[in-house]
Amino acid sequence: MQISKTQILKTKSELQSWSDAERRAGRRVALVPTMGALHRGHIALVALARRYAESVVVSIFVNPTQFNDRRDFEGYPRTLDSDLAACRGAGVDVVFQPSAAEMYPEGASTWVDVDGLTEPLCGANRPGHFRGVSTVVSKLLIAARPDVAVFGEKDYQQLAVIRRMTTDLGFGIRIVGGETVREPDGLALSSRNVRLGTTARRQALCIVESLDLAERMLAGGEHDTAILVEAVRKTLARATQARIDYAELRDPDTLAAVTGRIEGPVLLAIALQFEPDPDGQGSAVRLIDNRVLGRRQAAGPTASCPPERKSERREEFPR
């Protein structure tokens, strides 16, 4: 089946055969894993993938094993028709759209766990979430056999976990992080944003306001972690329909907690749990965002590069 020049493949064996044929033809393959409900942020990842490879695969699979709440899984937006149109418009070569049974056949009992990096932040209150992420990403990488896989930096912890996993297991795949794409008012693009009520959507701007505040404070000479986090939490508290899940300073590489004086670039990671509007508009939505504070000052002209490894600098293209 084809939509324009975009093929739709539904089985791992089909995807493996296609990928093998691409490499035999001398074309590199890039994978962009998604759960669908595509927006401009996903399309930016596709464009980034195209800079690293001649052929691009987008997977669309709402992975049931990474959801802690069945209602969240069932309520996750599914917009396949518009997703396929977006992929076609972006020049995606293949959309991989497997079923749950294809990814988790009956009797499957193997899981991929990454210790350490999965314990703080989102991992603290979402037991099993990263086991589901690591397992499904492993399956997608084995199926697509890409040279490069691209993930968004908005899910910073996920990106760190996947980099650790692929290094530890020797996948030999380059993991590239794409910068967070934002709404005109600064809110990070997310498929969950459409589920916010009007009031919650307005209050959600406190997230980017807190990131901006922390950046200004650090640039202005405030290096005390306690003072900075207190200011961030006060700003987030203005969202009266939200509960702060976390607002923490972490090491950009190890995700270890940073306390005392800030001596270099530091990750500010935030998660808020929003409730529906009082008039019933919207639904419960959890939003995350982050920023590596001090990265511009430390990195100079290469500030847009992911901080994890110098070898991952985006201007160092493999071709």
Cα separation, 288 vs 268, whole angstroms? 11
- Closest CA relative to residue 58, chosen from 38, 41, 34: 34
Work out the number of other CB atoms within 10 angstroms of the CB of residue 136.
22
Tokens of 43: 């399309």
Which is it for strands 285-293 and 266-274: parallel, antiparallel or unpaired?
Answer: antiparallel
3-state secondary structure of 9: strand
**Distance, CA of 176 to CA of 190 (rounded, Å):** 19
Question: Residues with Cβ < 8 Å from 262, sequence gap 6 or more?
Answer: 218, 223, 224, 225, 228, 249, 293, 294
Using DSSP bridges, classify how beta strands 174-178 and 242-250 pair: parallel, antiparallel or unpaired: unpaired
CA–CA dist 271, 248 (Å, integer):
9
In sequence order, the β-bridge partners of residue 290 are 269
Instruction: Select which of 39, 42, 129, 223 is catalytic.
Output: 42
Instruction: Report residue 140 as tokens.
Output: 């997608």
Q: Which residues does 21 contact at the CB level (< 8 Å), separation at least 6?
A: none
129 is catalytic: no
**Which DSSP helix (H) or strand (E) runs through 309?**
none
Catalytic residue positions, numbered: 42
